[in-house]
């Protein structure tokens, strides 16, 4: 028998059954953004493409300095609505794309996109740029590249009172599956090469 300091007696709890590790989405790997950032770094290091994540423009309003060596942002606002997540150059062509994930296994909700992003994609296409979205079904760990022209069609269908999502079957039909690897993790340039060049 053991006692705590002060004389209180220690009583062991009933032993809990051993729980086996179950992989979940949260511990299954990196997020889509982390995977794409690692992929883009690989492309830059190997001279394949120059693609970067766009910084979100923020206006800092109030900063506190609790220590001389540290600053804490207390208030900030987005300067303007951001456009898409990534842009750059591949084989002399401008590339612009958005990356989104969903937990759904049957469809991709269009509410994940914003009007200003759709507007931006229209402009990129009108000027001859390569524009697409990379969609991840996180529960299935499946990634697809969908050309922006198809996304715009589904967006217009929604605006006309139709479906508020793109079915997985439609993504499989109009999109392009991207197999996951190690280096690079999401080799979307291989798909870009086969579709646009």
Q: Summarize the annotated binding site as residue ranges.
A: 83, 85, 98, 117
| Nearest residue to 166 (alpha-carbon basis) of 196, 195, 137, 188 | 137
Is beta strand 176-178 parallel, antiparallel or unpaired with respect to 93-102?
unpaired
CA distance 175 to 134: 9
Cβ proximity of 90 and 40 under 8 Å: no
User: Which residue(s) pair with 62 in the sheet?
Assistant: 75
Q: Which residues are annotated as a binding site for Mg(2+)?
A: 83, 85, 98, 117
């Amino acid at each position: 028998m053991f006692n705590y300091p002060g004389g209180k007696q220690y009583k062991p709890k009933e032993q809990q059954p051993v729980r086996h590790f179950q992989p979940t989405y949260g511990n299954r790997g990196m997020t889509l953004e982390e995977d794409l950032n690692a992929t883009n770094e690989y492309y830059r290091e190997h001279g394949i493409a120059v693609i970067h994540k766009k910084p979100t423009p923020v206006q800092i309003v109030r900063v506190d300095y609790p220590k001389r060596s540290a600053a804490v942002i207390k208030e900030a606002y987005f300067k303007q609505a951001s456009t898409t997540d990534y842009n750059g150059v591949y084989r002399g062509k401008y590339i612009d794309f958005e990356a989104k994930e969903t937990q759904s296994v049957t469809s991709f909700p269009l509410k994940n996109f914003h009007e200003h992003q759709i507007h931006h994609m229209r402009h990129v296409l009108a000027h001859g740029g390569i524009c697409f979205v990379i969609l991840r079904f996180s529960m299935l760990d499946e990634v697809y590249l969908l050309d922006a022209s198809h996304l715009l069609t589904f967006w217009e269908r929604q605006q006309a009172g139709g479906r508020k999502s793109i079915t997985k079957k439609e993504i499989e039909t109009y999109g392009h599956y991207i197999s996951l690897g190690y280096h690079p993790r999401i080799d979307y340039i291989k798909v870009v090469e086969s579709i646009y060049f």
